[in-house]
């Protein structure tokens, strides 16, 4: 009986002698570094420089990554500073105000209607 290691079931399975004599070797390990990220294929034609819409704005992701990885202790929803704070405070104001208004409205709704 000859055996080979089945990559599918991760177990030893029976095999023909020919397959058993060709060692499969170790599974390649997970690469230590992430593979290079490809954002876009290189421009193929010089004439494509005219298509402004698709290439509108350069890749700002590395800059944003730098901004958001600053160690300033700010939580993610406030990391950008003023615009985040403004939106957060507006949302929170509507939340608290709305909850109170809702409780008042429900209290009023609970009152019996006088005929």
Partner 1 sequence: MAHQAHAYHMVDPSPWPLTGAVGALLLTSGLAVWFHFHSTILLSLGLILLLLTMYQWWRDIIREGTFQGHHTPPVQKGLRFGMILFITSEVFFFLGFFWAFYHSSLAPTPELGGCWPPTGITTLDPFEVPLLNTAVLLASGVTVTWAHHSIMEGEREQAIHSLTLTILLGFYFTFLQAMEYYEAPFTIADGVYGSTFFVATGFHGLHVIIGSTFLAVCLLRQVQYHFTSGHHFGFEAAAWYWHFVDVVWLFLYISIYWWGS
Q: Where on the chain is the footprint of partner 1 (CB under 8 A)?
A: 35, 37-41, 48, 51, 54, 56-57, 59-61, 64-65, 67-69, 71, 75-77, 79, 87-88, 90-92, 94-95, 98-99, 101-102, 105-106, 109
Closest approach of partner 1 to the CB of residue 101, in Å: 7
Closest approach of partner 1 to the CB of residue 26, in Å: 20
Question: Which CB sits closer to partner 1, 46 or 106?
Answer: 106
For the chain, how big is the Rg over CA atoms in Å?
31
Question: Which CB sits closer to partner 1, 25 or 82?
Answer: 82
CA–CA dist 106, 90 (Å, integer): 24
Bridge-based pairing of strands 11-15 and 2-6 is antiparallel
Residue 11 DSSP one-character state:
E
What the block records as the tokens of 59 is 């890749």
Residues forming beta bridges with residue 2, ordered by sequence position: 15
Closest approach of partner 1 to the CB of residue 25, in Å: 24
Backbone angles phi, psi at 5, to 5 degrees: -90, 115
Closest approach of partner 1 to the CB of residue 10, in Å: 18
């Amino acid at each position: 009986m000859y055996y080979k290691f089945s990559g599918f079931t991760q177990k030893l399975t029976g095999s023909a002698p020919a397959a058993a004599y060709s060692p499969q070797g170790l599974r390649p390990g997970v690469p230590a570094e992430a593979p290079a990220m490809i954002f876009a294929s290189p421009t193929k034609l010089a004439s494509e420089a005219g298509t402004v819409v698709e290439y509108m704005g350069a890749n700002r992701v590395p800059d944003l990554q730098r901004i958001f990885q600053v160690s300033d202790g700010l939580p993610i929803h406030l990391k950008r500073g003023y615009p985040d704070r403004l939106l957060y405070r507006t949302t929170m104001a509507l939340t608290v105000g709305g909850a109170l208004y809702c409780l008042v409205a429900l209290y009023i709704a609970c009152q019996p209607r006088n005929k």
